[in-house]
Structures are given as structure tokens and as C-alpha cells.
């Protein structure tokens, strides 16, 4: 099951922002262009219409003050004059002032704010959270086996009151979609869903989700794990340790810019090896032991090599911190799905978080290629389906492409780039694959075959 909604395109960010509208058409275009070769005629269902998350569902996760603030802010934006409508404005300083009531000298300057709010932001955020709720409902009822939610804005940095204390911004997020989905499942599917696991594979620590899980303090029902880069200068500069009492596990990875060669000959391989080793040795056995009834995945693809999301600085010119490939994302989804198949009837929902693109040589740094994002998303869906049949099924995303006519130029660009990327993927370095597989060979298979405790 793939879910997306036009409302998610109505959340506007400033020109040149990496969390741009074009991300979703790029993902959908790639899924559409490769559906015939990756999926059988009855293996993929696309859902374009579903309910928004309710006011009550959002309030289970976020504070009353914050929820009311976002609703009121949206009303203010809707009431703006035609001349000022459509212009995104800084979000983080408004949260810090109205909800957290920080002193003036501690409020983030608007000119350096990276999280935006516009007329369509509330509906987009509610629709993103609604996609997770809808996916869970269909899966629990047996109508779908698993799901991928192609939505925006992302949500894993949104804490109890939006902005998480100690972090520099709201991280492009408004409402925490996976947390809202998890709490809704525990509330409305009590017989079928008694325990939920949330796994965050974004390159940035899921600090918002962690804060929510800690505050809820329902360790028998909720488990959270985040694998991410950790460095004092890399947003959000948190997630360096576990919190056992709240069932929170953090798997921090040292950025490549701080690493020494690992023996494979190149420092770049360190990130891939660290990522797979942490997951194979710590996450998979813990997840299996927790034995959830539902697994939710915050899937950020910004750990992909050269994605600007894992650059050292905001100017997009610094060194990369992680070097994951499409094979690594397929690998982790396949293994999470394998655990889900064993412990919870295959119930797994993957939700798009980060993943923005890389700089195109000779182009301004504001123009990004979303090829890797779209390819990784398509391969995630392929991993969820679990097979690679050849089929002549029609393009089930055709109607979507027509609706997104405003993004047709970027759609065509992304589709072409995605096709080229898939061709290049067959020429990956044997040396890299040997180094990465050497770190985890056999471990994940042993973990999956071990009887759950």
C-alpha cells in the first residue's frame, strides 16, 4: 500500500529550501516509471484519499498549548491579504515565543530559521499523520499487508511542544506523524496492537519522537530506536545514549569527517559498516525480543552518500557525514520486514522523513538532484513487496502525475535521473560491497532464526 495526498504539496517552504514540494512528485514519478518491472499487477495499491488526523489524535502526542498554537497560527495565515498569501514564514521562533515562552535573547532569529509555515502547512501535517493512521487501520483490518507513506512535511523532530529544548530548530517538522500513528493504534486497536516499535533510520536523531516516548513513559507498550549521526556540531546534537527506563535505544554513528581509515582502504566505507553493524548487532535482536504487534519506520534517506542532509554545515559545502547506498536502505527495510513477518504478521508502516538530494555539478547549490531520494523510496516499496516480478501492468501512478501538473517539469527530470541511477547501480564497487558485507555476514540471519524470548 502506497499512500500520498495532494494536501502534502500545499506546505510551502522558501525558495531553494531542501525540504521542497518537488520531493513528493520525484518519489511518485520513480515509483510510477518502475512499477511495471518491479511489481506484479496486484501487488501494489495506491491510496490518494484518506482522512486527516483528528484534533484528538494530535493532542494524544502534543501539548494542548502547542496544538492550539498551530491551529491559531493557521487561522492567522488563512486570514492574510491576497498579496501576502503564499509566502512562507519562520516557524521555530514563533513556537519558542508563544509556546515555550523563551526570553527574547534565546529566540532563534527569523532570518536563520530553517522551518517554515504557510497557509497549507496545517492541512499537510494533518494529512501526513492521517496517512499513518489510515495505513495502520487497513493493515490491522487485513486489507493491506504493509505500507509506505509518501508524505511531507517530515515529523520526527516534532516533540511534545513542537520544538525540542536544546535543539537549534524544529527541523522542518510540525506534527510527529509516527508518534501520532502509534498512539492512535494503541487507542483504537487495543485487541490487536498492544505494543508498537518505532525505528528511525534518518541521518538525524529522532529527538522529537524520543522526547514524546520519554514523556509518555509507557515502556511496556512502546519501543523507540534511532540510528543517526552524532556530533556536537550536527543537528540536533543529541541521541548519544540509551534511556532504558523509557525503552529508548540510540545507535549513534561517528561522522566520516571524524573517522580514521577502517582497514578497507577508504574512510567512506566506515559509515556503511557502522550502520549495518549497529542494526544487526543491537537493533534486530532487541526488536525481536520486544516482539511488537506493529512496527513503524521513520525513513529518512538523507544518510545517502552526498545527500546535502548529511553535510557538515548548512551551506551545503562541507564534507559528508555518512555514505549509505541504495543497497543499505534495501537491506535495512528487508530485515525489518523479516522481523515483522515473524513477530507481528508483517505489520510494518514506513513513513518518509528526510532525504533531499545532492548538488548538481555546475548548478547553484539551491538546485538539487532528487534521483537518490526517489530511487531509495522505490526500492523501499520493492523491499516491502518482497519480490521482483516482471509485469506489463499499467502505470498506477498515471492519475497522480496528471494532478501534479504544476510539478511536471521536475517530475520528468526526476524520472530520467532515476532511470539513469538504476542503470549505474549495477556497476557498484565490489570492494565496497565486500567490506560492508564482511561486517554483518551471518549475524542478521542468526538473529532472525533465533526464537524470540
- The residues assigned a catalytic role are 157
| Contact in structure between 36 and 391 (CB atoms under 8 Å) | yes
CA 203, CA 311: separation in Å to the nearest integer?
A: 10
* Residue whose entry in the numeric block shows the C-alpha cell 524520472: 415
Element (H, E) at 300: none
Which pairs count as long-range contacts for 187-193, CB under 8 Å and 24+ apart, including other chains?
187/60, 188/137, 189/136, 189/137, 189/140, 192/140, 192/293, 193/136, 193/140, 193/293, 193/294
User: Quick check: bond before 166 cis, omega within 30?
Assistant: no
CA 298, CA 287: separation in Å to the nearest integer?
A: 15
| Number of helices followed by number of strands (H, E) in the chain | 15, 12
Would you state the cell numbers that stand for residue 132, as one nine-digit string? 499513518
| Contact in structure between 34 and 396 (CB atoms under 8 Å) | no
Query: How many C-beta atoms surround the C-beta of residue 212 within 10 A?
Result: 27
HEC profile of 163-200: CCCCCCCCCCCCCCHHHHHHHHHHHHCCCCCCCEEEEE
| Contact in structure between 174 and 117 (CB atoms under 8 Å) | yes
In whole angstroms, how far apart are CA 346 and each of 197, 264, 298, 300, 381? 13, 36, 17, 21, 14
CA 343, CA 291: separation in Å to the nearest integer?
A: 6
Angle at 233 between CA 230 and CA 235, to 5 degrees: 65
CA 14, CA 12: separation in Å to the nearest integer?
A: 7
DSSP code of residue 268: T
Cα-Cα-Cα-Cα dihedral of 53, 56, 62, 68, to 10°?
100
HEC profile of 389-432: CCCCCCCCCHHHHHHCHHHHHHHHHHHHHHHHHHHHHCCCCHHH
User: Quick check: bond before 236 cis, omega within 30?
Assistant: yes
Amino acid at each position: 500500500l502506497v499512500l500520498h495526498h495532494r494536501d502534502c504539496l500545499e506546505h510551502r517552504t522558501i525558495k531553494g529550501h531542501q525540504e521542497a514540494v518537488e520531493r513528493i512528485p520525484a518519489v511518485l514519478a520513480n515509483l510510477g516509471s518502475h512499477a511495471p518491472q518491479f511489481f506484479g499487477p496486484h501487488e501494489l495499491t495506491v491510496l490518494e484519499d484518506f482522512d486527516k488526523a483528528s484534533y484528538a489524535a494530535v493532542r494524544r502526542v502534543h501539548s494542548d498549548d502547542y496544538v492550539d498554537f498551530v491551529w491559531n497560527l493557521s487561522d492567522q495565515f488563512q486570514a492574510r491579504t491576497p498579496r501576502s498569501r503564499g509566502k512562507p514564514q519562520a516557524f521555530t521562533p514563533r513556537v519558542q515565543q508563544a509556546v515555550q515562552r523563551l526570553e527574547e535573547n534565546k529566540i532563534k532569529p527569523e532570518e536563520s530559521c530553517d522551518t517554515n509555515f504557510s497557509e497549507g502547512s496545517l492541512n499537510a501535517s494533518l494529512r501526513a499523520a492521517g496517512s499513518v493512521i489510515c495505513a495502520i487501520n487497513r493493515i490491522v483490518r487485513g486489507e493491506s499487508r504493509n505500507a509506505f507513506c509518501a508524505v511531507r512535511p517530515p515529523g520526527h523532530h516534532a516533540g511534545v511542544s513542537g520544538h525540542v529544548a536544546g535543539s537549534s530548530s524544529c527541523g522542518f517538522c510540525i506534527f510527529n506523524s509516527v508518534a501520532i500513528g502509534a498512539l492512535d493504534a494503541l487507542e483504537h486497536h487495543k485487541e490487536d496492537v498492544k505494543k508498537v516499535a518505532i525505528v528511525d533510520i534518518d541521518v538525524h536523531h529522532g529527538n522529537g519522537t524520543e522526547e514524546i516516548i520519554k514523556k509518555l513513559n509507557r515502556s511496556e507498550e512502546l519501543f523507540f530506536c534511532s540510528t543517526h549521526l552524532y556530533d556536537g556540531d550536527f543537528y540536533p546534537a543529541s541521541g548519544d545514549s540509551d534511556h532504558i527506563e523509557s525503552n529508548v535505544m540510540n545507535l549513534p554513528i561517528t561522522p566520516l569527517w571524524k573517522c580514521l581509515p577502517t582497514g578497507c582502504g577508504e574512510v567512506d566505507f566506515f559509515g556503511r559498516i557502522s550502520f549495518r553493524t549497529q542494526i544487526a548487532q543491537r537493533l534486530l535482536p532487541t526488536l525481536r525480543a520486544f516482539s511488537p504487534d506493529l512496527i513503524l519506520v521513520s525513513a529518512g534517506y538523507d544518510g545517502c552518500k552526498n545527500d546535502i542532509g548529511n553535510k557538515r554545515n548548512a551551506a551545503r559545502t562541507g564534507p559528508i557525514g555518512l555514505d549509505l547506498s541504495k543497497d543499505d536502505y534495501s537491506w535495512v527495510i528487508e530485515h525489518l520486514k523479516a522481523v515483522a513477518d515473524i513477530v507481528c504478521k508483517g505489520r510494518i508502516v514506513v513513513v518518509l522523513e528526510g532525504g533531499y538530494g545532492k548538488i548538481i555539478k555546475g548548478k547553484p547549490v539551491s538546485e538539487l538532484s532528487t534521483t537518490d531520494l526517489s530511487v531509495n523510496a522505490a526500492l523501499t516499496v520493492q523491499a516491502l513487496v518482497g519480490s521482483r516480478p516482471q509485469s506489463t501492468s499499467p502505470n498506477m501512478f498515471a492519475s497522480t502525475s496528471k494532478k501534479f501538473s504544476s510539478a511536471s517539469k521536475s517530475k520528468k527530470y526526476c524520472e530520467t535521473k532515476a532511470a539513469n541511477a538504476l542503470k549505474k547501480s549495477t556497476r557498484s564497487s565490489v570492494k565496497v560491497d565486500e567490506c560492508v558485507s564482511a561486517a554483518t555476514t551471518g549475524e542478521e540471519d542468526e538473529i532472525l532464526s533465533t526464537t524470540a524470548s
